[in-house]
Chain A
């Protein structure tokens, strides 16, 4: 019924996500059952969630999105599904 585009999160959070995944993979290669490994993947989850919220926030402030929410029938707001 409604279409939602996808945009990337701000650079700094995206960088943090990338680093945290590398860090988790390193920590877990030594000992997958350790507290450090588990905590490292928990950090990945936390940062991924933050990145996702940042993406949503960015989307909410897009002026075209805001306009089209109220005027979906306008030329600029038309969407096509092929």
Chain B
């Protein structure tokens, strides 16, 4: 009966592709993989009608050392689900992060040239020449349509391309790397995308912190590395900004005059007003107006330098956007709850959910400032987007079906 079949398709434990592997021998995993590798996808996509919707696909673009991994950890924490233990038996150097609900693919796996080849040819990983966009597109398209893929592995330890690993379509597929928004075909497959835009001063400060524990590095070597990569970064990575659903800019604070420490940060969340299905921007107090808000005062006492918020409409690369900005640091739990209570369109399932997530992951980088706070907000928006898509495709009762478990 159609309704119950679709219900089953949307349940938490459903394996999206093979409803009856024993009955239909032709569709067994081994045969399908063998079959998929040899024949082009377009001849067969009409023959396999998938009874369940494919994954929601999210792209996350950022330069190396800019917080993608931390962002991924926050995302997977909000979506819930335990990491899959058997995944790394295939290849311990796999870059893929897999939980019950989410698969995160590192786009370095689509490098066309390995480290040695890039060195010989004088090409950086930032350059499109170093990446196989055709394969990226074919494989993400396959996953989106419910087919498993044999995805290459770029081994960061050896710098070589290892034999492929099998990836099944998940509920939520995240593509993180330098170029998720570069190729227009891949862009069209994305349901949501984020660009992490770290300003030069902050990037320098973060890389110093990251690299000073390593022998061989000095201030000069960190600076030289950033400088050398800048031209390729400006040419190939930065232009992706205009396509993202949300851009998160990280800048030096304006609260401390002549600050050089770069510990206190000003973070701006630039959210598209239209053009992103199932997504409405977060705002303070009144949608569309310009609001400047200092929560510290009579009800809330904050330590220096305090916290300052701003929200307002702007234009960004010919798009109308809402900008939500936070400058400063959280010092106490009550500040976090107070601020959460005054934001609108946050898509939480209960009051205090943002604060709870921030506390749960308080050892992650940026947990006391706008980076962690806004990343958590974005993760909740993506969860909301997923649930809207799942509700739209399924005939569920609206409760539990197609929804990700809210973490307690």
A51 touches B232 (CB 8 A): no
B121 touches A35 (CB 8 A): yes
Can you list 16 residue pairs at the A/B interface with Cβ under 8 Å? A2-B367, A12-B157, A21-B221, A25-B221, A38-B231, A38-B232, A39-B122, A39-B124, A41-B224, A41-B229, A42-B118, A46-B159, A48-B214, A51-B214, A53-B69, A53-B156
| Most central of A18, A38, A40, A69 by chain B CB within 10 Å | A38
A43 touches B228 (CB 8 A): no
> A24–B228 Cα gap in the complex (Å)?
10
Q: Mark B121-138, 1 if CB is under 8 A from A, else 0.
A: 111111000000000000
Task: List B contacts of A21 (CB < 8 A).
Answer: 216-217, 221
B398 within 8 A of A: no
The 7 A-B pairs of least Cβ separation, nearest first, read A35-B122, A18-B216, A41-B228, A42-B124, A50-B156, A41-B225, A2-B363
| Most central of B119, B121, B228, B229 by chain A CB within 10 Å | B228
B115 touches A46 (CB 8 A): yes
Given contacts A1-B362, A38-B232, A52-B65, contact A44 B214 (CB under 8 A): no
A-B contacts counted at CB < 8 A amount to 106
Contact of B363 (CB < 8 Å), options: A6, A9, A53, A69: A69
Complex interface residues of chain B between 158 and 178 (CB less than 8 A to chain A):
159
* B361, closest chain A residue (CB): A2
B124 touches A1 (CB 8 A): no
Contact of A49 (CB < 8 Å), options: B64, B122, B362: B64
Task: List A contacts of B249 (CB < 8 A).
Answer: none
Q: In the assembled complex, how far is the CB of residue B60 from the closest CB belonging to chain A, in whole angstroms?
A: 15
* B115, closest chain A residue (CB): A43
> A38–B367 Cα gap in the complex (Å)?
34
B210 touches A48 (CB 8 A): yes
Q: Mark B14-40, 1 if CB is under 8 A from A, else 0.
A: 000000000000000000000000000
* A39, closest chain B residue (CB): B122
Q: Mark A3-36, 1 if CB is under 8 A from B, else 0.
A: 0101011001110011001101100100000111
Q: Residues of A within 8 Å of B, CB-based: how many?
A: 38
> A13–B159 Cα gap in the complex (Å)?
11
A44 touches B210 (CB 8 A): no
Contact of B216 (CB < 8 Å), options: A22, A35, A36, A69: A22
B122 touches A36 (CB 8 A): yes
Q: In the assembled complex, how far is the CB of residue B396 from the closest CB belonging to chain A, in whole angstroms?
A: 36
Given contacts A49-B65, A53-B156, contact A8 B232 (CB under 8 A): no
Given contacts A6-B213, A13-B157, A69-B363, contact A46 B125 (CB under 8 A): yes
Task: List A contacts of B368 (CB < 8 A).
Answer: 1
Complex interface residues of chain B between 65 and 99 (CB less than 8 A to chain A):
65, 69
> A34–B232 Cα gap in the complex (Å)?
13
> A39–B122 Cα gap in the complex (Å)?
5
> A49–B67 Cα gap in the complex (Å)?
11
Task: List B contacts of A55 (CB < 8 A).
Answer: 213
> A36–B124 Cα gap in the complex (Å)?
9
